[in-house]
Structure 1
Amino acid sequence: MIDTARLAGFFAAHGVWCVSEGETLIPLLGYQHADGEYGMDRLMFDDFAEGARAGQDALADGDPSWVGAVLVADGYIHLEQGKTDALIIEAVQYGPYRQSMQVAVPYRPADHGFAVHKPKFMDIDCDDPNLGPLAEAFFVGAASHTEANAVWEAHLDESI
């Protein structure tokens, strides 16, 4: 699940980069092939929710060439401060049995002074649900997307 957590971090950073300029994120599906190569599809639909549903279907179905896949969609989570914009990341590792994790990356939209808050690890379903190594892999993946990570780091607000 470590490789999939790293994949999730990489595409979460890409999502942060996309919303940093004030755009609503077009849902994206990132995946990793057995040779380690990443791929990505933008889920362009008339409605963002339709794109997110198509991404969830793709995660559920998988692809024989994928070892892991990640859906990143723009949404909301409820925190102590109330309803908060967030990138919702759903990650699946394929194999003899599926493992998964869900992470939210709360952010403040650009029209209110863009900021990225601490990720919230919400649901982990894997053989070793120890958050420490998964979180570390997630942040390593985010840092590996150099341009996007620079935006994330420049706008990091850990108060939430």
Structure 2
Amino acid sequence: MIETARLAGFFAAHGIWCVSEGETLIPMLAYEHADGERGMDRLMHDDFAEGARAGQDALQDGDPSWIGAVLIIDGYIHLDQGKTDALIIEAVQYGPYRQTMSLALPYRHAGNPAGFAVHKPKFMGVECGDPEFNAMGEGFFQGVASHAEAAAVWDAHLDESI
């Protein structure tokens, strides 16, 4: 699951890079093949909810050539501070038995008077044999760091107060 956490981190960073200018993220489905090759599809539909549903269906069905896949959608999460913009990330590792991880990555929208900010990820669920949360967290942040342009935006706008 650590490799899939890295994949999730890389594409979460890409998503943050996309929303840093104030745009709504078009749902993204990213995947990795056994040979390490990665791909990504933007799920452009008539509305964002339709794209998100298509992504959830694709994530659920998988593809025989994928070893892992990640769906990233722009949405909201309810925190103590109230309703907060967030990238919702669902990751699946395929194989002999399916393992999953979901998290929300809260951010402050660029249109906010205080400006754009990235907050700490909130792990919402993990379903795997023996989850090593610390290792998965490290893998996620290794993935973030591996996307140089996006990691620079993330680091420049990090606000760990939430």
TM-score by length of 1: 0.99
Which residue does the alignment assign to 1:50? 50
**What value does the CA root-mean-square deviation take over the aligned residues?**
0.5
Distance 1:146 1:125 in 2: 30
**1:27-66 mapped onto 2 (5 Å cutoff):** 27-66=27-66
The alpha-carbon deviation at position 33 of structure 1 amounts to 0.5
The yes-or-no answer on 1:67 pairing with 2:67 is yes
Distance 1:128 1:155 in 2: 34
The yes-or-no answer on 1:85 pairing with 2:85 is yes
Bigger mean CA offset, 77-86 vs 122-131: 122-131
Distance 1:24 1:145 in 2: 20
Which residue does the alignment assign to 2:21? 21
Distance 1:84 1:154 in 2: 20
Which residue does the alignment assign to 1:134? 136
List 4+ stretches of structure 1 deviating above 4 A: none
The yes-or-no answer on 1:99 pairing with 2:111 is no
Distance 2:11 2:129 in 1: 23
Which residue does the alignment assign to 1:124? 126
Distance 1:65 1:130 in 2: 26
Aligned length: 160
Bigger mean CA offset, 127-136 vs 21-30: 127-136
Q: Which runs of 5+ in 2 are unaligned?
A: none
The alpha-carbon deviation at position 130 of structure 1 amounts to 2.4
Q: How far does the alpha carbon of each residue in 1:54-97 deviate from its partner, in whole angstroms, 9 at most, with x for none?
A: 00000000001100000000000010101100000000000011
Distance 2:102 2:146 in 1: 20
- The share of aligned pairs that are identical, in percent, is 78
The yes-or-no answer on 1:159 pairing with 2:161 is yes
The alpha-carbon deviation at position 147 of structure 1 amounts to 0.4
